[in-house]
Chains A and B, each alone.
Chain A
Amino acid sequence: MKVNVKMYLSLFRIRFHRNLQYRAVVLGAIIKGFFWSLMEVLGYIALYHANLTGFPMELSQTVSYVWAHQSFIVLFTVVFADGEIYSSIRSGTVAYELVRPSKLYGRWFCQSASNRLSFALVNCLPVLLLGLLLPKPYSLTLPSSQAQLILFTVSALLALCVTVAFAMLMYISLFYLVSQRGIQMMVRVTTIFFSGGIIPLPFFPDPVLRIVQWLPFAAMQNMPLQIFCGSIMGTVAAKGICFQIFWLTILVLTGRAAMEQATKKVIINGG
């Protein structure tokens, strides 16, 4: 077990350094994140201007939500640039992975998680900082108490795991299906919309929300972002974290079983 942890940690380190290599890409991502959030914030301010009380979240909460969403976006993206995994399935090099003395599910899970985490660490802090520096209506507000910050951290880690666990199911489905692009697109659309990537989930009409809040997507970015901006607090937040653990367990168990099935039957197009 100890060996395993060390191996996964070094996998993470390698990835982190690799992502840091491309400074221009990082700078570009920061600029884009900043302006994208700013435009969204301006849009929301205009909306609140039309009706200050009609929305389920306060303006400052929504603004923080937008900033946090853009800052952590990479962390909670299901369809992210995990190019190596996609191409290893398509080209058949996955066969090499199978002979390695570690479980494929763990390896890929770790690889995807560290891919997101390392990219987000470099990209997200600057955007958050820029968001803090702006004047009042446009600026980001940090969580009000330490307890809230801790809840956010826990929830964010769980959301990352749920996101990756869901992505794993998608990778596994690619063993059976040829159209990678089609599947990626469908998964991207569904996960972004139902996890609060277009508009925060509380903005959904109540009848829709009643269903959507139980889906696994609600256990993704929705939870940590709502905790971050203070729209859910205390026991509600704690319940949310339990909800995340529930879905994480289900997704990981299904994923491992499915992986077992898939690798048993995998046919490598040799050459």
Chain B
Amino acid sequence: MRLYWNYFLMELKSQMQYKISFLLTTLGQFLTAFTSFFGIKFIFSRISGIDDFTYGQVLLCFSVIMLSFSIGEMIGGGLAVFPNLLREGELDRILVRPRRIIPQLIVPNMDFSRLGLLLQAVIVLCIAVPVSGIQWTPQKALVFGMMIICGSVIFFCLFLMIAAFAFFIIGSLDFLNIFTYGMRQFGRYPFSVYGDTILRFFTFVVPLALVQYYPLLYLLDREDSFLYMISPLLSLLFLLPTLLLYRIGLRNYKSTGS
């Protein structure tokens, strides 16, 4: 643990070395999220709601997904270097070290400029909570916290899964971005608006609806069953296929040599 902490600090310091660069990138991240926010704001200046969700509730979905994404990406986004590591045989160096592999990949590749995104998500959250019309109770606050934490875990899993695909497919995996950046984009509306088929996909395949749509119904008192309340926890089942894929990939790994 000490080792990783040092690693972490080292990385933080080295990224802070180029202050202007760091600030510009963070600002860029901040503005990226800001433009999507304005996209929603402009659209909802013309209509009052979508399906039976109000502007405030849409914003809540947007900020939960954005927050989850930014945490997930800050931790797991660095895994995007994985295909390169494989191609250049760098992974072998990591494999021979007597430490766990995933942390060794994650910690040196953390990108702190994602804080810009995080900050923006928090701001939107602060706008969304008062206008969402939710009657807060301690249980609801707990569910809300679970939405964000479990959401981050899912996004992290998605990044890890895409990285693990590199074991099986050599070449560019850019199109798999639809499962990370795409999900951030589509998650701005409750997943139910896309129709039943899509909602089922987001329930059983990529369980993002479990941290967004279903618990939102609970927060809004439209559903009060226990299942809706713990739905974010159910989404953690997504960890199983992710880790399985990663394990299988690692077991079948053959170095490219060089």
Contacts and interface: CB of A to CB of B under 8 A. Distances in A.
B171 A24 contact: yes
A186 B20 CA distance: 13
A185 B32 contact: yes
Contacts of A4: none
Nearest to A204: B42
B130 interface: no
B171 A192 contact: no
B28 A189 contact: yes
A186 B39 CA distance: 17
Nearest to B27: A186
Contacts of A100: none
Size bracket of the A interface: 35 or more
Main secondary structure of the interface of B (DSSP, over half): helix
A266 interface: no
B226 interface: no
B177 interface: yes
Most buried by A among B22, B32, B48, B169: B32
B177 A32 contact: yes
Given A24-B172, A25-B172, A199-B42, A35 B178 contact: yes
Interface in B52-86: none
Contacts of B27: 182, 186
Interface of A: 22, 24-25, 28-29, 31-32, 35-36, 39, 42-43, 46-47, 49-51, 54-55, 178-179, 181-186, 188-190, 192-193, 198-199, 203-205, 208
Interface of B: 18, 20-25, 27-29, 31-32, 35-36, 38-39, 42-43, 45-51, 169, 171-178, 182, 185-186, 189, 193-195, 198
The 4 closest A-B pairs by CB, nearest first: A182-B24, A185-B28, A28-B175, A179-B21
